[in-house]
Amino acid sequence: MKKLILLLVVAFVGAVSARSEVMIADVFARQTTSLDGKWNVIVDPYDTGYFDYRRQPYDANGKITGGYALDKQAKDGELIEYNFDTSPTLNVPGDWNSQDEKLFYYEGSVWYRKKFDIVKSAPDHRLFIYFGAANYEADVYLNGKKLGKHIGGFTPFAYEITKLAKAKNNSLVVRVNNNRHADAVPTVNTDWWNYGGLTRDVLLVETPATFISNFRTRLKAGTTNTIEATVQLDGGDKNQTVKINFPSLKIAAEMTADTNGVARFELNTPNLAWWSPENPVLNDVVISCGADELKDRVGFRSIATSGTDILLNGKKVFLRGICIHEEVATEGRRAWSEADARMLLSNAKELGCNFVRLAHYPHNEHMARVADELGILCWEETPVYWTIQWTNAATLANAKQQLADLISRDQNRASVIVWSVANETPVSEPRTKFLKALVDEARALDGTRLVSAAMEVHSGTMENHPGAKPENHKVVDDPFGEYTDLCSFNQYTGWYDGTLEKIDRTTWSIKYHKPVVISEFGADAKQGLHGETTTRFTEEYQAELYRRTLPMLEQIPGFSGCTPWILFDFRSPRRPLSGIQDGWNIKGLIGHNGEKKIAFDVLKNFYGEKAKADATK
């Protein structure tokens, strides 16, 4: 335990020293001022905003001398060819694609500007600008000074502005660029919409001079009633008394943080109810240090594997799941709010799910928090998708940072049981080495959850099925499976691989004696398009594929759950079939018009029977 906490502290300090960003966890429990709303914007496909046509934007001392970041006003005949005050506006949070039809396919830079005043609660308090996410790169400036650059479209970041902020008329300028790059994570090719912009909340955060920057609570491994907690302080006076209190459990403790600002607790309680989908009990926790106080609600549960079983709180569980993209299909936009999260997860709940795969990148923080309340287990994923630059050290560092930021944000969510490090990555030695490094990172930062990835399958023969024809026999022997807790893979027999009748002939060999979770299967169907079960893109074809696939999957040794692809249709530029797809991946069980397809009830009925069987065990 001490070694793990030391690793966490080193990772935290290393991240801060390497970047100008700071760690602010549990942001919704803090004293904040929302900067959401209308922001003035300048669309800048040529990145003119880095220059003012006459000189570089920085002088020899690194001071900004030109460009949009200065947010200048023309005086005495000065030529300035931009003006935020008269420019159009976009809503923040939000993507620019769905807000302006001219930006629907746009990939490039947009400059955002927000003016705001500040009234601090105390003179010695600190101020931070917090971004829930910006896709994909964000250059952030306050009052003409650059705060930093964030790379990664789905994780939070913050900058301290205590010394730069003014009482009146602060100018916050952010250049957001969503260009795709071969060395990025994700890389150039994806099968989802590349929504650009400030896609999640932007907040002004006020803290005491020394504050609680992060904390973690969890059930101690191997126990049933011992809570472990770690609290990290940030500030000049780290040797302060830290208090932790669970009012409903009637337990509390306090201690002085060490020289690194870390306080560690173990608290025993005889009245600890475990969190589960059937009983998603959450406990109030209050953590305080001097003038700083955080309040949250946390659940306690254990997750492990034993052979081919997944054990939740020591009992075998079947994962009745579905995949979800962070999108509101009926409005064709990026999802970002708590209301959006409740809509998506409530539909999964109606389907009979106890599990969701949040694909293929970190979703907004509301998703895991609402899942905590509703009793839905979560698989969270980093956007290592398809063909990343496996031998590029910078690409690996980017992937590690996104994984670390996700773990830091959601480590207190009982609903999160799987960290997934990749999706559908072709097998090669450099790829396996890359992914193994991510597994090691996940386990070093949080060894209490399962680690997996969505792997692929191939056709072939194995000794235990000597009579099977290679084209009808599927083999899962990805070498990366040696390092994961689950054997998870995507399979599309009957859609990309043959027609419906092939499903009935398919047999399986699994190399690993681990729980098998089918991370994807499915078929496209246009909601409202009906026909024979043999006619592709009809609801009937999709429903028949589900009827045949589910019994086939149950024949796989160790079958412990599945997350079919996908809950709702979602936008994708890779899907151009006119009159059918029209820019949508239509594998959803719910159409982008909000109407359920026939296959929704097929899966719902299957999950209903699974739930009944689990209840009798």
**Whole-number pLDDT of residue 58:** 65
Does the pLDDT value for residue 496 go beyond 80? Answer: yes
Which stretches within 390-428 are classed as H helix?
A: 393-410
Domain 210-301: CATH superfamily, name plus number: Immunoglobulins (2.60.40.10)
Q: Report the predicted TM-score, pTM, of the whole model to 2 decimal places.
A: 0.94
Q: For 152-196, what is each residue's pLDDT tens digit?
A: 999 999 999 999 999 999 999 999 999 999 999 999 999 999 999
Which pair of tokens denotes residue 201? Answer: 């909340």
pLDDT at 350 over 50: yes
Residues 93/336, Cβ–Cβ less than 8 Å: yes
CATH 2.60.40.10 in the chain: give the residue spans.
210-301
CATH architecture, range 35-207: Sandwich (2.60)
Q: Output the pLDDT for position 168.
A: 97
Point out the least confidently predicted range of 64-73, 121-130, 296-305.
64-73
Query: Rounded mean pLDDT of 234-248?
Result: 95
Tell me the pLDDT tens digit for each residue of 418-463: 999 999 999 999 999 999 999 999 999 999 999 999 998 988 765 5
Q: What is the pLDDT of residue 289?
A: 96
The neighbouring-strand residues paired with 507 are 473
Give mean pLDDT, residues 114-121.
96
Average confidence (pLDDT) over 591-598: 98
Instruction: State the Rg of the chain over Cα.
Output: 25
Q: What CATH class is the domain 306-615?
A: alpha beta
The pLDDT assigned to 81 comes to: 87
Instruction: Report the pLDDT value the prediction gives residue 461, as an integer from 0 to 100.
Output: 63
Q: What is the mean pLDDT of residues 242-259?
A: 96
Q: How confident is the model at residue 335 (pLDDT cuts 50, 70, 90)?
A: very high
Please report which confidence band the pLDDT of residue 7 belongs to, taking 50, 70 and 90 as the band edges. Answer: very low
User: What average pLDDT does the chain have?
Assistant: 93
| Over residues 263-288, mean pLDDT | 96
The answer to whether 569 touches 537, Cβ cutoff 8 Å, is: no
Q: Hunting for tokens 């412990």 — which residue is that?
A: 560
**Model confidence at 16, in pLDDT bands (50, 70, 90)?**
very low
CATH 2.60.120.260 residue ranges in the chain? 35-207
- 385, 424 Cβ separation under 8 angstroms: yes
The pLDDT of residue 59 = 66
pLDDT category at 80 given cuts 50, 70, 90 is confident
The pLDDT assigned to 147 comes to 95
Looking at residue 469, what is its pLDDT?
73
User: Strands (DSSP E) along 156-240, which ranges?
Assistant: 157-160, 170-177, 202-207, 211-219, 226-234
Residues carrying CATH 3.20.20.80, the chain: 306-615
Helix (H) or strand (E) holding 15: helix 2-18
Average pLDDT for 48-76:
73
Higher-confidence position of 448 and 56: 448
Point out the least confidently predicted range of 62-66, 195-199, 273-277, 519-523.
62-66
3-state secondary structure 460-515: CCCCCCCCCCHHHEEEECCHHHHCCCCEEEECCECCCECCHHHHHHCEEEECCCCC
> pLDDT-derived band of residue 615, with 50, 70 and 90 as boundaries?
confident
> What percent of the chain stands above pLDDT 90?
86
Nearest-angstrom CA–CA distance, 234 and 241: 13
For the ranges 62-66, 166-170, 245-249, 512-516, the lowest mean pLDDT is seen at 62-66
Task: Tell me the per-residue pLDDT of 191-232, one tens digit each, with 9 for 90 and over.
Answer: 999 999 999 999 999 999 999 999 999 999 999 999 999 999
Is the alpha carbon torsion for 408, 410, 414, 419 positive or negative?
negative
Is residue 64 pLDDT above 80, yes or no? no
* Three state DSSP letters for 559-587: EEEECCCCCECEECCCCCCCCCCCCEECC
Confidence band, pLDDT 50/70/90 cuts, at residue 470: confident
